[in-house]
Chains A and B, each alone.
Chain A
Amino acid sequence: MNGLSWIDWTVMLGTLFTIVAYGVWKTRGTKNIEGYLLGGKESNWWTIGLSVMATQASAITFLSTPGQAYMEGMGFVQFYFGLPLAMIVISTVFIPLYYKLKVYTAYEFLESRFDNKTRLLTASLFLLQRGLAAGITIYAPAIILSQILSIELNYTIFFIGGLVIIYTVSGGTKAVSQTHKQQMGVIFLGMFIAAGFLISYLTDTMSFSEGIQVAGVMDKMEVIDWNFDPGSRYNIWSGILGGFFLQLSYFGTDQSQVQRYLSGSSIRESRLGLMFNGLLKIPMQFFILFVGILLFLFYQFVMPPLHFNAENVEMVKQSEYAIQYEALEEKQQIVFDAKKDLILEFNENPEDQELKSAIQAYHVEEQALMKDSKALILKADPNASTEDDDYIFITFVTNFLPIGLIGLLLAVIFSAAMSSTSAELNALASTTTIDIYKRNIKQDGDEKHYLLRSKLFTFMFGILAIIFAVMADLFDNLIEAVNILGSLFYGTILGVFLVAFFFKKVKGNAVFIAALISQAIIIVLYTLNKYEYINLAYLWYNLIAPGLVIGFAVLIQVIGKEKPIKSK
């Protein structure tokens, strides 16, 4: 990519600044804490639905997901199979209780049910997990966008973080919800246009249905995997069971999502917002993955790069391994040409099994060449990151879409980064203000005091996220550590909430101790898995952890015969 045209810059910056300006203008003059943290409880169902979807869809969703389908096929969609049922459970069990108790945060509910220490434990786990994750939400797309736009990484981080801070500090939850609508509009528009271009490129050579058949020959169309294998990342069982508990935990107990639907003007609007998500999420993920399949088909007729991260390619070509790398590229060209001819032939004779096998063999050879290219990159720079899935979609956008649309698609990625970050900052500030500051530090403040503190906390978390994103580049394993930390806490937090909802006789001490024991066991399981003593995909932790919390809490309650603990 040799720089962006001024038209693309104008479209991208114009789109982003318009959304920010609209968010600030539309939500100016918030005067009280309810207005700031719950958006004045005025949101209608479709605002909530779009906001819930925008919060979950980070920039990495749009960078990674097509790349994942390109490399591994459509199987990832199974990850979302538990979501509709989770939406129904939250709608029937969680929302009525949150409304009844008029809570600002999910953790506030736990004090009504148990005690302050359980509330503090879950709020702290959330703050730790989301506080660190907010930095990664900015960092992960910034590293790709900075390379594509040829801008210093830190400037990209400051740009995303700065814009988010402006409207989130200014307008709170209402600004987050309002901007989510515009951001989702830009995201859908951009993705539909990209898919439209890919389909039109494909249909120049073959029909849509023939294209899917070709993708199927190269193992990209295995949407459903029926094998019950606890070690496989995505199959229908882990998607429905593990996915259900993960989504229940995320949407039911993660404040960045709870805050979205608590801003509803009534229970009805909140419920409908979640139903909107339950209905559209699987088709939306399917569509984003399918863009990856269309990309894969596009690159069957247009020679793809051997490695999609152009910075790595440039680096290896300036190293002592340049000749070996170029030799791999030459081999790739030969394989590509032969495979392309066979695909065209197969299109005329789709029943020919020999042709099918030959295409598969070339596909395997091409994948082996890609693997070899990564090995060479690592030889040239042992610290290089060779994962290039995230660069596949953006490489197509910047090289093959017309001027103007490139700017729009870059705005899609920035919008997605901003939408999830703003919800995180908003939720972090709410939890700090309500569960920590107002409950444990200063209980006698007035509306103005808490409003100012909420704004201050939003600003502080924004700055922290930026600092963390800048630091993430300095420590190789930081991102992995944060992601693991997040996925390991979810199940335990959900377990505490499930005990609260369904085990009325279990009291605060029992659930608190059960949560600590369960979290320790989950960390042990994770460690055993990491060192290959067991083989357990991470989705299953979300099922095991709540089971452990419930089991231990009931056991401790029965054995200890704990007396009820008075709240507050």
Chain B
Amino acid sequence: MEDKLEEKPPFFKEWKGLYTFILVFEIVLILIFVWMTNTYAA
């Protein structure tokens, strides 16, 4: 079981990389939503 804890995610050297990617992805989405609100909301 402990060995499996060490298994790496695909495309990233460690889990921290994947977690950072997901958070950055969310921030980008929120920025797009902010842009949509500023551009299209009345």
A binding-site residues for B, Cβ under 8 Å: 74, 77, 81, 84-85, 87-88, 91-92, 96, 99-100, 212-213, 215-219, 221-224, 236, 266-268, 271-272, 275, 278-279, 282-283, 286, 356, 360
Contacts and interface: CB of A to CB of B under 8 A. Distances in A.
Contacts of B30: 81, 224, 236
Given A85-B23, A88-B23, A267-B7, A216 B40 contact: yes
Contacts of A286: 29, 33
Of B34, B39, B41, most buried by chain A (CB within 10 Å of CB) is B41
A212 B23 contact: no
A278 B22 contact: yes
Nearest to A73: B41
A1 B42 CA distance: 36
A84 B41 contact: no
Given A81-B26, A223-B33, A268-B9, A216 B41 contact: yes
B22 A88 contact: yes
Interface residues of B, number: 24
A360 B41 CA distance: 12
Nearest to B34: A224
B18 A275 contact: yes
Interface string B1-22: 1001101111000010011001
B9 A272 contact: yes
Given A224-B33, A267-B4, A271-B9, A219 B25 contact: no
Given A74-B33, A88-B23, 17 more contacts: A81-B26, A84-B26, A91-B19, A92-B19, A99-B4, A216-B40, A221-B36, A221-B41, A223-B37, A224-B33, A224-B34, A266-B7, A268-B8, A268-B9, A272-B10, A275-B18, A360-B42
A272 B37 CA distance: 32
Contacts, number: 80
B24 to A, nearest CB: 10
A283 B32 CA distance: 11
Contacts of B39: 216
A356 to B, nearest CB: 7
Contacts of B42: 216-219, 356, 360
A223 B39 CA distance: 11
Contact of B15 (A92, A224, A266, A360): A92
Contacts of A221: 36-37, 40-41
Contacts of A279: 22, 25
A91 B39 CA distance: 36
A279 B26 CA distance: 8
A275 B18 CA distance: 8
A87 B1 CA distance: 21
B19 A88 contact: yes
Contacts of A267: 1, 4-5, 7
Interface of B: 1, 4-5, 7-10, 15, 18-19, 22-23, 25-26, 29-30, 33-34, 36-37, 39-42
Nearest to B40: A216
A219 B41 CA distance: 6
B23 to A, nearest CB: 6
A91 B34 CA distance: 28
A75 B33 CA distance: 10
Contacts of A360: 42
A548 B17 CA distance: 34
A222 B35 CA distance: 10
B1 A99 contact: yes
Contacts of A272: 9-10
Contacts of A236: 30
A236 to B, nearest CB: 8
A268 B4 contact: yes
Contact of B29 (A215, A218, A283): A283
Contacts of A87: 22
A187 B9 CA distance: 28
A218 B40 CA distance: 10
A215 B36 CA distance: 12
B40 A96 contact: no
Contacts of A266: 4, 7
Contacts of B19: 88, 91-92, 275
Contacts of B9: 268, 271-272, 275
A92 B15 CA distance: 9
B15 to A, nearest CB: 7
A547 to B, nearest CB: 23
